[in-house]
A and B are shown apart, each in its own frame.
Chain A
Amino acid sequence: MNPRELARRVLELRLWQHLINEEMKRGRFRIPIHAAFGHEALAVALDAALAPADQLALTHRNMAYQFARARAFAPVYQEYLLSPAGACGGQLGSMNLTQPSHGIAYTSSILGNNLPVASGLAFAHKLRHSEAVVFALTGDGAMEEGAFYETLLFARSHRLPLAVLIENNDHSLASRIAERRSPVDAGALAASLDIPYLPLSGNDLTVYGQTLARARGAAQAGPVVLEARVRTFCNHAGATPGWATDPRHISLSEGLVIEPSSDDPAHMAARLLGDEAPAFTQSLVALASGLLAIPLEESCLSR
């Protein structure tokens, strides 16, 4: 897909997360929701890299991937509202939302739980001599679980078509890696199991697309580990701002939150779009409120 089109999708996805964030501020959801500001480039690039039969096994922080795969706001939003019009009829909510028709076969709210399941999904593809690959998302918290090592070992032993994508945002809840454990060199760990390792950082959609395509190809001969450096711009769960100590302010009244850094996918997308970016983001925001069941007040929207 054209990188500029992908960049537009990154900004659109950022807007949709803003809308969910505004709805969380309004107390419109009864379920815990984990926004993924900062994860948009990975989600959009992975969506573009997937073949039709590929599958995803996601984590609790899955919003970016749900929107990217659905390519629509309403089914995910309605699911968060537990509405029958939701992607799963309002039965699964956020942390366990699956969209099998979009390849999201499994989503777990339990750290590490999705990895063994992804191994089984991949095993089935191998049995059928399919070229499909399963991408299992995980994080720097979940890789502390035994399931992470076990799954890599199992998948490598049986050469399963599995790509394990670590979203390393340096946080488990509010604890940074240095505050809770010794460092783990995922590349060295993968190498010890004779598994290819591919790092990702910088939110360059072209690089991400190429790397994910390379991983997808390699995974057909056995598992691959990808580790993406991600900066998550929102609270662990719920609205941002949401806690008294939260230094960040994310509000549509100030337009799309975009940090001038390669850590921010929206910044990188806007840079790719160049002169087109301001008008495009303004047009997105202008349409935003109409996507919600109850439109936002004027004060909540930037003009």
Chain B
Amino acid sequence: MSQPVTPTYLATLNAALARAVSAALASHTPLVQMGENIDKGSCICGLTRNLPGVLTNIGNCELTHAGTGFGLMMNGVHCVLYVKQLDFLLLALDQMANTMQLVRAQGAPVSGSFTIAAIVCDQGLQGPQSSFQGLNGICSTVRADGFAPVAKVELERIIAAQLLRPGFRILAFSQRLFGAPVLDLPLVWEAEDQSCFQFASGRDATIACFSFTLDSGAELAARMAAGGRSASLYSLHPVSPHRWERVVEDAARTGRLIVFDGGKEALSPAHKLAAQVLLAAPGVRVDIHTREEEAIDAVSEDRFAPPLEELALCR
């Protein structure tokens, strides 16, 4: 008898992408799927392996790729641009900021869509470059929605709803998690705009996770449970404007907020969330764990490593 295969993060991601693309193809929606080496070699580290439909292999000009995506969107076509490293999007900031700003100002709803599906190289050992993890910063700068799904249900729901939704957004995927079993957490609540997913409701703490830290948050919640305490657990995505009322209310109720952010921006959304909680409930104890002080990348493990044991014991 064969052993049951535990689905990995990448396999879950592949399957969700294939389902969304197949649905678009079945509806005869004009669709461009493009990327560098999209159908060659490793197919972007496996991201685009076995994708249905036409895959358009493109050269190395990310600024133009982004502008092309916006042009397709404006003319009613759906476009998904697959990107190997979030770093590459730094070359496309002008298009994401200025072009999207004009689309918004024109006011008319667009029927086409443009989604950038990018891998975040958070697996470490990349060197001083090539491990940019600032999804929150990009989304804040260009006022675009971003999603960094970790849990199985997040991957499936976000990709199904967002991949070909009219308008523009960035979907980011963690390369660190590609080969790991996908985190399969029970869903308690999901925001309509998918900016927030709640996976547990507890009495003693509120754990909020940005930028691929949900696995750390889930581990902390499990350690607390082992010690007889329960925590609420949230995964938050940079969707503008930030609407975190549910998390704020939850933290006010539990009296303790623990925020994780795996990005390295000097201005983390974790600080904004903490400020909102403290304005609403000044007595809440707040612990923020970001990577702000790790701005200089190097050849290292480069992992988000909050003190889970200490946090689990701390009341």
- Chain A residues packing against B (C-beta within 8 Å): 55, 57, 88-89, 91-92, 96, 98, 100, 105-110, 113, 115-125, 127-128, 146-147, 150-151, 153-154, 157-158
Task: Kindly identify which residue among A91, A96, A121, A153 contacts B71, using a CB–CB cutoff of 8 Å.
Answer: A121
The reply to whether the CB of B73 lies closer than 8 angstroms to some CB of chain A is: yes
**Nearest 5 CB-CB pairings of A with B:** A120-B71, A116-B67, A124-B75, A150-B61, A120-B68
8 contacts between A and B (CB under 8 A): A55-B75, A89-B107, A96-B105, A100-B106, A106-B99, A110-B98, A124-B75, A127-B77
Q: Which of B51-78 contact A (CB under 8 A)?
A: 56, 58-59, 61, 63-77
Given contacts A92-B106, A106-B74, contact A116 B58 (CB under 8 A): no
> Which residues of chain B have C-beta atoms less than 8 A from A117's C-beta?
67-68, 70-71, 74, 95, 99
Asked if A124 and B58 make an inter-chain contact with CB atoms under 8 angstroms apart, the answer reads no
Give Cα A157–Cα B65 distance, bound, in whole angstroms. 13
Asked if B107 and A119 make an inter-chain contact with CB atoms under 8 angstroms apart, the answer reads no
Report, as a range, how many residues of chain B touch the other chain.
Answer: 20 to 34
Rounded to whole Å, the gap between the CB of B62 and the closest CB of chain A is 9
Give Cα A287–Cα B68 distance, bound, in whole angstroms. 44
The reply to whether the CB of B222 lies closer than 8 angstroms to some CB of chain A is: no
> Which residues of chain A have C-beta atoms less than 8 A from B70's C-beta?
116-117, 120
> Which residues of chain A have C-beta atoms less than 8 A from B107's C-beta?
89, 91
- Chain B residues packing against A (C-beta within 8 Å): 30, 32, 56, 58-59, 61, 63-77, 79, 94-95, 98-99, 102, 105-108, 112
Give Cα A10–Cα B64 distance, bound, in whole angstroms. 34
> Which residues of chain B have C-beta atoms less than 8 A from A107's C-beta?
102
Per DSSP, chain B at the interface is helix
Asked if A88 and B64 make an inter-chain contact with CB atoms under 8 angstroms apart, the answer reads no
Task: Kindly identify which residue among A55, A92, A124, A153 contacts B59, using a CB–CB cutoff of 8 Å.
Answer: A153
Per DSSP, chain A at the interface is helix
Asked if A124 and B106 make an inter-chain contact with CB atoms under 8 angstroms apart, the answer reads no
> Which residues of chain B have C-beta atoms less than 8 A from A96's C-beta?
102, 105
> Which residues of chain B have C-beta atoms less than 8 A from A121's C-beta?
71-72, 74-75
> Which residues of chain B have C-beta atoms less than 8 A from A157's C-beta?
58-59
Asked if A154 and B77 make an inter-chain contact with CB atoms under 8 angstroms apart, the answer reads no
Given contacts A92-B105, A113-B98, A154-B58, contact A120 B67 (CB under 8 A): yes
Chain A residue, CB-CB nearest to B98: A110
> Which residues of chain A have C-beta atoms less than 8 A from B32's C-beta?
123, 127
Asked if A158 and B102 make an inter-chain contact with CB atoms under 8 angstroms apart, the answer reads no
> Which residues of chain B have C-beta atoms less than 8 A from A158's C-beta?
56
Given contacts A108-B99, A108-B102, A117-B74, contact A147 B58 (CB under 8 A): no
